[in-house]
Amino acid sequence: MIRRITPNNPAGQLVGYARVSTTGQDYSAQVERLKDVGCTKVFSEKQSGTKSDREQLAAALEYVREGDTFVCVKADRIARSTKDFLEIVERLDAKGVQLLILDQPEMSTGKGATAKLLRAVLAAVAEFELSLIRDRMAEGRKRAKEEGTKFGRKPKLNPETVSLLKRLKKDEGLSLEAIAVRTGLSMSTVQRGLRT
């Protein structure tokens, strides 16, 4: 009889992997879900999914042993391209490790040609969707720039701030340090503003 691998009936140890793309994001919700399904070891990192040399993913793949189950919330947490996803699945298969993707169980490890085909098709569709999203974002940014939208941080030195800096220096006779403290600006920003 073939043993069905589910969160309630795992093979070996459940080893989780959580990832977010930027330092401003938080992977705690992923970690919590992984622990809720029984992961006793969780690897996590803040790293772009497009990078293939993700340290914690490599550590997780090295850590798992035959009979274990490698768990993630979504397939795009472990790979952003079909090629990378299928290589990771092959690597896990070679070690005798099952793959469980909580939000996409159809992409979890299954045996046979149909399961492999389904994983490949679904991974390709996910990669295609990501490409479409990137294209739409690029178009939106281009259109916004054409309409005059400025991206990035607002400059600290605008005409009003420069005027204030000069007034504090000339009228009140404050030192650069005192102006920096009063305005909350760095010394270099104060100096740049006074040179303007």
**Class of CATH domain 14-129:** alpha beta
Print pLDDT tens along the chain (196 aa).
334 555 455 558 999 999 988 767 888 999 999 999 999 999 999 877 666 678 999 999 999 999 999 999 988 888 877 788 888 888 998 999 999 999 888 777 766 666 667 667 777 777 777 777 788 888 888 888 888 887 777 667 888 888 888 888 888 888 888 888 888 888 888 888 888 7
Contacts with 185 (C-beta within 8 Å, 6 or more apart), sequence order: 156, 161, 165, 179, 193
pLDDT number for residue 14: 94
Is the pTM higher than 0.75? The answer reads no
Return the domain boundaries, the chain.
14-129, 159-195
Distances, alpha carbon 176 to alpha carbons 128, 171, 173, 184, 191, in Å: 54, 13, 9, 12, 7
Whether 28 is a known active-site residue: answer no
Contacts with 126 (C-beta within 8 Å, 6 or more apart), sequence order: 75, 76, 82
E strand or H helix that includes residue 183: helix 176-183
* pLDDT tens by residue, 122-168: 777 777 777 777 888 888 888 888 888 877 776 678 888 888 888 88
